[in-house]
Amino acid sequence: IFYGRIVHSKSLKCLQIYTKAALGVNDDGKINFLDEDVTSGEEAAQKYAGFRDAKIMTLKPLQFLFPGFIDTHMHAPQWPNFGIGMEGDNLYWRENFTDPLEVTFKDTEKARRVYSQVVQKELENGSTTVAYNTTIHYEATTILADMCLQYGQRAIIGKICMLVNATHGNWEASVEQSIEDERKTIAYIEKVDPDARLVSPCVEPRGGSFVPGALMKGLGELCCRKDGRLYHVQTHMAETTQDVARMRKLHPEFQEYSDMYHHYGLLHQKTILAHCVHLSDHDISMIAQNNAGVSHNPNSNTCLTAGECRVRQLLNAGVKVGLGTDCSAGYSPSILNAMREASNVSRHLVIRTGDPSWRLSIEEIIFLGTLGGAQVCGMEDKIGNFEPGKCFDALLIDVGLNDNINSDGWEHDDLALVKKWVFLGDDRSIRLVWVSGQLVAGKDRS
Ligand code: GUN
Ligand code: FE
């Protein structure tokens, strides 16, 4: 039982901040109860069956529980390139930094070293769930799945599939091999985590400008599981105007990006579409109709000058939206940073258009980094907030140890405390991190 201040999103507009709440976690890592109004953990222990002898953690005045962050789009192999390469556009960046690095993941020892660090650092930064992009290498991708299981991180993982528009040999030998290696990747993940307790496989075409029709078709077919359900899909969409032009050139039958993905069976409720900066109105309604989700990567979109994703328009159209760090086109591993950047990009849209409705509020950016991300990952029944029945994926935040936040002269009202954390906090304030009730990271873990 945790007793004290508990913060989570109920919906896009509704951030709940309870000051005297108790939250009970079962032995299986699921949330049993969230009681908004009790006077102590001991009172909650008496009130809820099965919790009489529970361990009670009473939070300190500047501490609170916060849902684990959900990073809906990041490239694990690009971790060594954080902070470098943003001198040009997407093409320049891929040719000079990304392709040369990604091809080196043929080396499985390198994959083990880098991925071990990626998973631990993402956890320390509070990302309890990550939708990972990898490289064209089957072996390296299985190592990332191993690392997530070893360190206890929830993840969606697939092998990147790509045949054209790359440099430095960063492409696969054939349609058949690409599909076969993706099939093997899925089979491996299903073997090591058969109930998808932590790691779920996905089908991962890099994007419309990298994957010709024959491969898109094969990947769409691969998406349909034997039991009639669908696998997750993760891909890039309409990141730049050049990406849209190249998609049209490679798929001349399609004028619209969304029609291409839809035709090949890759646009559905378990599809994560990264960037979506240059969508047409038709694309937006297709994404909404098919209940696919958008990963908004504001840091990356700014660094590589892709443009401003029109989040308000997507939300108004009923599209699911979450946040991604997009390492290493973005320079920060933290979803807190993505929240701030989403806030800033929305304000730039206000400046440019004069229309204040583009502005995203504190409640909205927190939603995007948590419950919105869960929806984009098709996991809103399992994670994203502290509703009973969901997995306890959580952060213990303590702003007392960061002088930037805990300065004199401001009133410690609850919303201000949360705002201080969102705009001034970092991993120093993340004291403990749980995934499915298991302690997996944090400064106080030892
Ligand atoms: N487009 C194709 N590949 C990538 C990538 O790795 N990062 C980004 N930001 N855009 C891409
Ligand atoms: Fe990306």
DSSP 242-274: HHHHHHHHH-TT-SSHHHHHHHTT--STTEEEE
pLDDT of residue 445: 87
Atom 8, ligand 1: which residue's CA is nearest?
A: 329
CA distance 329 to 348: 20
Q: What separation in Å is there between the alpha carbon of 254 and the centre of ligand 1?
A: 21
Query: Which ligand is nearest to the Cα of residue 234, counting in written order?
Result: 2
What ipTM goes with this model?
A: 0.98
Is 206 close to ligand 1, i.e. is its CB under 6 Å away?
yes
Atom number, ligand 1, closest to the C-alpha of residue 306: 9
Per-domain boundaries in the chain = 2-67+385-441, 84-376
Percent helix, strand, coil in the chain, to 5, is 40, 20, 35
pLDDT of residue 403: 78
pLDDT of residue 123: 98
Q: What separation in Å is there between the alpha carbon of 326 and the centre of ligand 2?
A: 5
pLDDT of residue 446: 74
Q: What separation in Å is there between the alpha carbon of 97 and the centre of ligand 2?
A: 14
Mean pLDDT in order along the chain per 10 residues (446 residues)? 98 97 98 96 97 97 96 98 94 97 98 98 98 98 98 98 98 98 98 98 98 98 95 98 98 98 98 98 98 98 98 98 98 98 98 98 98 98 98 95 75 88 94 98 89
Is 75 close to ligand 1, i.e. is its CB under 6 Å away?
yes
Q: What digits encode the pLDDT tens for the residues 301-358?
A: 999 999 999 999 999 999 999 999 999 999 999 999 999 999 999 999 999 999 999 9
Is 207 close to ligand 1, i.e. is its CB under 6 Å away?
yes
Do 2-67+385-441 and 84-376 agree at the fold level?
no
Is 363 close to ligand 1, i.e. is its CB under 6 Å away?
no
Atom 10, ligand 1: which residue's CA is nearest?
A: 90
Is 239 close to ligand 1, i.e. is its CB under 6 Å away?
yes
Is 379 close to ligand 1, i.e. is its CB under 6 Å away?
no
Atom 1, ligand 1: which residue's CA is nearest?
A: 236
Detail the DSSP E strand segments found in 164-302. 199-205, 232-237, 271-275, 293-296
Which of 75, 97, 204, 210 is the best mutation target for the ligand 1 pocket, counting ligand atoms within 8 Å of the beta carbon and taking the most? 75
Atom 9, ligand 1: which residue's CA is nearest?
A: 329
Start-to-end CA distance of the chain, whole Å, equals: 20
CATH annotation of 84-376: 3.20.20.140
315-319 — which CB contacts under 8 Å span 24+ positions?
315/12, 317/284, 317/285, 317/287, 317/288, 318/288, 319/284, 319/287, 319/288, 319/292, 319/293, 319/294
Is 73 close to ligand 1, i.e. is its CB under 6 Å away?
no
Which of 167, 236, 240, 302 is the best mutation target for the ligand 1 pocket, counting ligand atoms within 8 Å of the beta carbon and taking the most? 236
Atom number, ligand 1, closest to the C-alpha of residue 326: 9
pLDDT of residue 406: 75
Which of 81, 170, 237, 239 is the best mutation target for the ligand 1 pocket, counting ligand atoms within 8 Å of the beta carbon and taking the most? 239
pLDDT of residue 53: 95
pLDDT of residue 170: 98
Q: What separation in Å is there between the alpha carbon of 315 and the centre of ligand 2?
A: 21
pLDDT of residue 401: 76
149 C-beta neighbours (distance < 10 Å), count = 17
CA distance 308 to 369: 18
Q: What separation in Å is there between the alpha carbon of 53 and the centre of ligand 2?
A: 47
pLDDT of residue 49: 93
108 C-beta neighbours (distance < 10 Å), count = 14
Say which CATH architecture domain 2-67+385-441 belongs to: Roll (2.30)
